Amino acid sequence: MTRGLLTTAVGSYPKPEYVLRARARVARGEVSPKEMEELEKRATAHWIRIQEELGMDILVDGEMYRGDMVAYFAENWEGFTTSGLVRSYGNRYYRKPVAVGPVGRSRPTTLEWWRYAQSLTPRPVKGMLTGPYTIVDWSFNEYYPTREAFLMEVARAVHDEAVDLAKAGAEYIQIDEPAISTRPEEMEMAARALAVVTRGLEAFTITHVCYGDFAAVFPQLAALPVDMLDLETANSNYNLLDLIRQHSFGKCLSMGVVDVHHHETESVEQVKEGIRKGLEVLSPERLYIDPDCGLKTRTEEESVAKLRVMVAAVREVKEELGIE
């Protein structure tokens, strides 16, 4: 029997109310970092249990202890500070990391969280990192003379983090690069930085990319130095699969089958339809199934409902096609 169609998630899950409230109070000094960590651990255990109960194959820790995917690393590394508030859109503001000196880790950043999450389950938990291009692109730079110098230094730090995770036993390491296709003219440099991260790494490597003109840069995306590409296929009505059909594609694909930007839950039938479309272009061994992107902007109920539909659809497709 063929094997495949492993289920996973992109990274983040919604934080429970008690974590959100406590985060605000930590900022005001009303909750100690230790108490905060206990709450984040509780929430992590909660999400590990949900994923196990749903029957997912490769789990994530849900990033209960991270705010923004770039700011989290910047806050824990040397060489970064945070800016005053900048606007994202409408009335939404955030503090952007600012490189003010040589950036890098003084100690492992995500390792203890990965160990904790993995200690809770026999199923593999992914190591989750943010890629160097995205860290650089979403930060201000007041230190490095060029973007490239900044990028390569960040790449070395992310590499060290990845090595620590692999040594600790992480079988899967995902390096998220949502920004990587922002500027086609910088793709080559971004790919070189990602190669620094994954060089010699003994783990199955994944990169999640989530916007941009993929048609223009697909050959470069297909050549990124990772084992698997993770794409948001559901929210573009699976049109991205045409790119795989049209280009030579030697990687595995992690395929988004539920749209994370909509409240409504897809039907099992809709998701099965999507998976079948994926199977038209790739064999089940090379096809992984997940939501389009992190679920942190959905509610817990919406997230669980979407994951449940995803797992049910995979199970039915597997039965119908005799996939183990």
Partner 1 sequence: MITTVVGSYPKLSPDAGAPSLRAAISRHDAGRITVEELRRVEDDVTREVIQEQIDAGIDLITDGQIRRDDGQTYFARGIKGFTINGLIRYFDTNTYYRHPIPERRLEWQGAIGVGDLEFAVAHSARPVKGVITGPYTLARLSQMGCYRDLRSLVMDLVPILNREALALQQAGAEVVQFDEPAILQHKDDFDLFAEAVEGVTRGVTARTAVYTYFRDVSGIHSRLFQLPVDIIGLDFVAGPANYDLVRDFPPDKMLGFGIVDARNTCLETVEEIASAIGRVSRVVSPDRLHVNPSCGLDFLPRKSARAKLARLVDGVRRAQEVRS
Closest distance to partner 1 from the beta carbon of 25 (Å): 19
* Pair 230, 205: CB distance under 8 Å: no
How many C-beta neighbours within 10 Å does residue 38 have? 13
- Which DSSP string do the residues of 28-92 spell out, in sequence order? TTSS-HHHHHHHHHHHHHHHHHHHHHHT-SSB--BTTT-SSTTHHHHHHSEEEEEEEEEEEETTE
Closest distance to partner 1 from the beta carbon of 213 (Å): 10
d(CA 202, CA 292): 26
Q: Which of 152, 99, 108 is nearest to 129 (CA)?
A: 108
Closest distance to partner 1 from the beta carbon of 247 (Å): 23
d(CA 87, CA 190): 25
Closest distance to partner 1 from the beta carbon of 191 (Å): 17
Angle at the Cα of 115 from the Cα atoms of 113 and 116, rounded to 5 degrees: 65
- List interacting residues with partner 1 (CB under 8 A): 83-91, 93, 96, 98, 137-138, 140-142, 179, 182-183, 211, 261
- At a CB cut-off of 8 Å and minimum separation 6, what does 316 contact? 268, 272
The DSSP symbol for 129 reads E
Nearer to partner 1, 164 or 259 (CB): 259
Closest distance to partner 1 from the beta carbon of 212 (Å): 9
Q: Under DSSP, is residue 210 helix (H, G, I), strand (E, B) or coil?
A: coil
Nearer to partner 1, 141 or 236 (CB): 141
Nearer to partner 1, 121 or 141 (CB): 141
Nearer to partner 1, 6 or 231 (CB): 231
Closest distance to partner 1 from the beta carbon of 186 (Å): 9
Nearer to partner 1, 84 or 250 (CB): 84
Nearer to partner 1, 151 or 253 (CB): 151
Q: Which of 15, 62, 38, 45 is nearest to 121 (CA)?
A: 45
Nearer to partner 1, 264 or 320 (CB): 264
d(CA 59, CA 10): 9
Which segments within the chain are labelled E, that is strand?
78-89, 92-104, 127-130, 140-141, 172-176, 204-208, 228-231, 252-256, 287-290
Nearer to partner 1, 64 or 221 (CB): 221
Q: Which of 255, 266, 250 is nearest to 303 (CA)?
A: 266
Closest distance to partner 1 from the beta carbon of 202 (Å): 33
Closest distance to partner 1 from the beta carbon of 231 (Å): 17
